[in-house]
Amino acid sequence: MRKLVAGNWKMNGLMADGVARARDLAARAKAKPLACEIVLCPPATLLVPVAQAIAGSGLGLGGQDCHTAAAGPHTGDIGAPMLKDAGCSYVILGHSERRQDHKESDAIVRAKAVAAVAAGLCAIVCVGETAAERASGRTEATVVRELQNSLPPKLSAAALVVAYEPVWAIGSGRTPTAQDVGSVHARIRETLRDLAADAAAVRILYGGSVKPANARDLAAVANVDGFLVGGASLNGDEFWSIAAACG
């Protein structure tokens, strides 16, 4: 299975620095393509210029969220067909920052995934436990519940990527051990057997404080099929080094 490394720029980047970063990564990809698939997920304002900057490089583009509706009276939101139209192939859904800041429930995440797939996008659906859930031994139960309630029925691997992102690991500099990541990813794979059309082929990303220093060890864990990278994706050298660790 080809690994996937997605860079989530979150709400960071103005035109000049965002386009410069995209151009730099495109130049690296053209000069020495990596084995893994690489996707950039800039803020919505930068989707089109980043699409132009990476054209012909083999790098892909993704959005950070979409609405449940394709279009309509939803001020400030973005519809999945608009992402597709801007050049996206992917969209991140159910990120913990959206679940927390925008009170997104599993049901909303599922409806967004339905909308994304209907528009021809691949949904990167995020799941992960909070520190309190982990402390009380509910890590796997949380992840399984989120999968069962956030995924539309029987999506295929072409339409679905799962990102395991422990909430406490995001932006904290802390990560679970490779062994813990392996246990959760194995549980996700097992759970997908009932939820996805081709569970073995669905890519399961790890996300949460992935850095060049830990990427190689984490990439070697069974069922880790790539990374969702936040902070380190804003640094071209770090992001490229993480991607290189995935082959």
Q: Of 179-187, 189-197, 223-231, 235-243, which segment contacts ligand PEP by CB under 6 A?
A: 223-231
Would you put residue 40 in left (φ > 0), alpha (ψ -120 to 50) or beta?
beta
Residues 4-33: x where in contact with ligand PEP by CB under 6 A, - otherwise, as a string: ----x-------------------------
Which span (49-57, 116-124, 186-194, 227-235) binds ligand PEP, by CB under 6 A? 227-235
Instruction: Name the residue type at position 232.
Output: A
Strand partners, 203: 161
Q: Which helix (H) or strand (E) holds 31?
A: helix 15-31
Question: Is 190 designated active site?
Answer: no
226, β-bridge pairs: 4
Question: In whole angstroms, what is the distance from residue 146 CA to residue 110 CA?
Answer: 10
Strand 226-229 and strand 4-8: the pairing is parallel
Q: Rule CB under 6 A: is residue 62 a binding residue for ligand PEP? A: no
Binding of ligand PEP by 210 (CB under 6 A): yes
**228 makes contact with ligand PEP (CB under 6 A):** yes
- According to the binding rule CB under 6 A, does residue 176 interact with ligand PEP? no
Tell me the torsion sign for CA atoms 107, 111, 114, 120.
Answer: negative
Give the binding range for ligand PEP (CB under 6 A) out of 34-42, 54-62, 141-149, 206-214.
206-214
**Which tokens belong to 35?**
């084995």
Indicate which single residue of 7, 42, 166, 231 sits in contact with ligand PEP (rule: CB under 6 A). 231
What are the beta bridge partners of residue 241?
none
Catalytic residue among 37, 95, 133, 238: 95
**Residues at the contact surface with ligand PEP, assessed by CB under 6 A:** 8, 165, 170-171, 207-210, 228-232
Q: Which residues are catalytic, by number?
A: 95, 165
